[in-house]
Amino acid sequence: MPQAFFTSDLHGRPGRYRALWARVADERPGAVFLGGDLLPHGMDRSWDESGTGDDFVPAFLAAGFRNLRSRLGERYPRVFLVLGNDDPAYIVPDLEAGRNAGLWEYLHRRRTTWAGHDIYGYNCVPPTPFQLKDWERYDVSRYVDPGCISPEEGRRSDDLTTREIRWTTIKEELADLAGDADQRNAIWLFHTPPHDTGLDLTALEGRTIDHVPLDPHVGSIAVREFIRERQPLITLHGHVHETVDRSGRWRETLGTTCAFAGAHGGPELSLVRFDPSDLAAAVRVLIPV
C-alpha cells in the first residue's frame, strides 16, 4: 500500500477531486500532496451542482475533505497543498480556515514534518504569458522570456509592495525557506517544475515571436539549481499539463533527488503513488473520472 499520493493541476474539476477522494478512502495513504492550480478557471461553476453560490474552497474543496475525514476517522491522511499561478491570492484566508479546521496544511513558504521527513511548500513560478501574477516571481534575475509578461505587469490580488514585486526572486525565497537545514531527507511540494527537464516541456518547440525562438522548457532555473545543490530526497511538481505526453517522462533523477510530475492534460486524474523509503516502486496512474 502506498504511503503517499501526489497530484496537481486539478483546476476545480469535480470528477478529478471525487476520483481522488474515492482512491484515498479505498487505499488510505498516510499523506496526500496537492501541487497547485486547485481552483476552476474563471466563471466555471460546474462543481456547484446545488447552486449555493458559495465560493469553491469552502463549498466544494473543504466540504469534500470534511466528508472524507468523517469516513476515515483516525485513518484520515495528512493533506499538504500549495497554490499555483492560476489560483488567486485572495483565497488564502479560505485555505487558512481549512487549515485551522484540520482539513489540510497550506504550505507556501512553510516547513512541517511528516513520517520523519521535513516537508516544504512553494507556490511560485517564473513569469508566464498569463495575466494573473499573484504567484509569479522573477526566477534568478529580472529576466522575462519572450512572449511572457513580467510580475510587475498583469493583475494581482495579493498585498506585495512594488519593491517586493520588482526585486524578489524564486532563488532568494528558496534559499530563505531552506536556510541551513540538511535537505537529504526533505520533501518539497512545488508548483513549478525544474527547468530543462522532462517535467517542464511545453508545446512551444519550433515557435518564435518576432523571429526569436521560444524556449519550450518553462520551468524554474532556480528550482533546478536548488535541487542540484541541496539534493532533497523528493520534489513534487505541477504546472505543465502536457509535459509527460511530450517528454515521455513523469519522473526525473537529479543527482540523488527523485522528482515527480503531477499535472496531466487529459480529462483523467493523474495520481502518483510513492513510498519515500522505496522510491523505485513509485507509479503513476491515470484514473478515469
Cα radius of gyration rounded to whole Å, the chain: 18
C-alpha–C-alpha distance, residues 138 and 279, integer Å:
32
| Higher-pLDDT residue of 251, 209 | 251
The residue with cell 482539513 is 103
Give pLDDT tens digits for 35-93: 999 999 877 887 777 766 679 999 999 999 999 999 999 999 999 999 999 999 999 99
Its sign, for the CA torsion 188, 13, 71, 92, is: positive
Contact 81, 103 (CB under 8 A): no
Find all residues with CB under 8 Å of 42, minimum gap 6, and list them.
none
Q: 280, 277, 270, 288: which is closest to 6 by C-alpha?
A: 270
CATH superfamily of 4-287: Metallo-dependent phosphatases (3.60.21.10)
pLDDT confidence of residue 53: 66
pLDDT confidence of residue 235: 98
pLDDT confidence of residue 162: 95
In the structure grid, which three cell numbers stand for residue 141, read together? 534575475
Give pLDDT tens digits for 103-153: 999 999 999 999 999 999 999 999 999 999 999 999 999 999 999 999 999
pLDDT confidence of residue 211: 86
- Whether 1 has a pLDDT exceeding 60, the answer reads no
Strands (E), the chain: 4-7, 31-35, 78-82, 105-106, 110-114, 117-122, 187-190, 208-209, 212-213, 234-237, 251-254, 257-261, 269-274, 283-287
CA distance readout (Å), 117 to 17, 185, 277: 26, 6, 11
Pairing state of beta strands 251-254 and 257-261?
Answer: antiparallel
Indicate the domain borders of the chain.
4-287
Backbone angles phi, psi at 262, to 5 degrees: -110, -10
State pTM to two decimals.
0.96
Give pLDDT tens digits for 210-247: 888 899 999 999 999 999 999 999 999 999 999 999 99
C-alpha–C-alpha distance, residues 95 and 105, integer Å:
8
Contact 140, 167 (CB under 8 A): no
Burial 63-89 (b: 16+ CB within 10 A, else e): ebbbebbeeeeeebbbbbbbbbbbbbb
Give pLDDT tens digits for 180-216: 999 999 999 999 999 999 999 999 888 899 888 899 9
Question: Any long-range contacts for 125-130 (C-beta under 8 Å, 24+ apart)?
Answer: 125/84, 125/85, 125/191, 125/192, 125/220, 125/239, 126/170, 126/192, 126/218, 126/219, 126/220, 126/221, 127/151, 128/85, 128/218, 130/85, 130/86, 130/154
CA distance readout (Å), 281 to 1, 16, 251, 276: 11, 24, 12, 10
Burial 151-165 (b: 16+ CB within 10 A, else e): beebebeeeeeeeeb
